[in-house]
Amino acid sequence: MQPRAMLVIGASGGIAQGVIETLALQEPDTLILAVSRAPQSPGQEKARLRWWQCDYSEAQIAATLAECAGVLVAEGCRLDRVVVANGRLHEGELQPEKRIESVSAATLLSVFESNAVVPALWLKHLHRFLKRELRGGAPAALAVLSARVGSITDNGKGGWYAYRASKAALNMLVKTSAIEYRRSLPALRFIAFHPGTTDTSLSKPFQRSVPEGKLFTPAFVAAALLARLDDAMASQPSEAAQFLAYDGDQIPW
C-alpha cells in the first residue's frame, strides 16, 4: 500500500505542532508536508517531515503546492488529509474587543486577513491541487481550524468582535467552497474544527477563566482532530461541510 501523506498549513502554531508530533508518533510512515510563514526551527527535523516557508501570497501558495506535488510523486505517497491551522486572537496592541467602542477598521481588517482571507486563498489553490492529487476518488478530508465563537447561533456572550466575525466569515468560506468542491471531489470531506481551549500562545492570556479539565494539551487536540478526520472519511454526511468540536459534537453554524 502507498504510504499516506498529510498537509499541515500554519505549521508553526501550537495545535499544528501537536498534529505534527502526534502524526510522527502514531503514523511513522506518513509523510508530513508542513507550510508556515516561519522557517523550520532547529531541532524540529523529522525523517518524514518536509517544511516550506511561505508568505501566503498567492504566488507563493501556488509555488509551494507545486513543490508539494513533486515531493508526493518522488516519495510515492497518497495525500488524504489537509489541515489549515491559521488563526490569530491577539498580538501586541491587537487584543479582542470587549466593547463595540474598541472596534477599529485596522483591527478588523488585520484579523480578517489572517483568520479568513489566508485560509480562503489556500482553499482557492487547493481546489486544483486536490483535483489532481485525489484522482481516483479515494476518501480524503480537509479541516480548517475555526472556533465555537464563530457560530452565530451559539453567540450568547458577545465580545471579541473581530475574532468572532472573522471565524463566522471563515465558516461561510469553508461551507461555500465545500459545496463547490463536492461537485468534482465527492469523496473529500470538509470540517470547520473547534479544538476547545488549547494550551497554546493563542489562549495564554485567557486561560484563568477556563473550567478545570477544559484546558487541553495540543497533543490531546491533535489526536482528536486526526480522529475526526478519520471519522469524516468513513462517513457520508448530508451537508457538504460539518462544524465539529474536538469531541465530535456538531456545532450549529
User: Phi and psi dihedrals of 145, rounded to 5?
Assistant: -75, 115
Decide if residue 57 touches ligand NAP (CB under 6 A): no
**CB contact set of 133 (below 8 Å; sequence gap of 6+):** 69, 72, 79
Decide if residue 86 touches ligand NAP (CB under 6 A): yes
Residue with cell 480578517: 112
Q: How far is the CB of 199 from ligand NAP (least distance, A)?
A: 7
Strand order of the β-sheet with 31-36 is 49-53, 31-36, 4-9, 78-84, 140-145, 188-194, 241-245
Decide if residue 10 touches ligand NAP (CB under 6 A): yes
Count of residues making up the chain = 253
Instruction: Kindly tell me which of 52 and 185 has the beta carbon lying closer to ligand NAP.
Output: 52
Q: Count the neighbouring beta carbons within 10 Å of the beta carbon of residue 83.
A: 24
Decide if residue 200 touches ligand NAP (CB under 6 A): yes
Decide if residue 11 touches ligand NAP (CB under 6 A): yes
Candidate list 102, 104, 184, 201; residue touching ligand NAP; CB under 6 A = 201
Candidate list 107, 151, 197, 242; residue touching ligand NAP; CB under 6 A = 197
Cell of 69: 506535488
Binding site for ligand NAP (CB under 6 A): 10-16, 36-38, 56, 85-88, 114, 118, 145, 147, 195, 197-198, 200-203
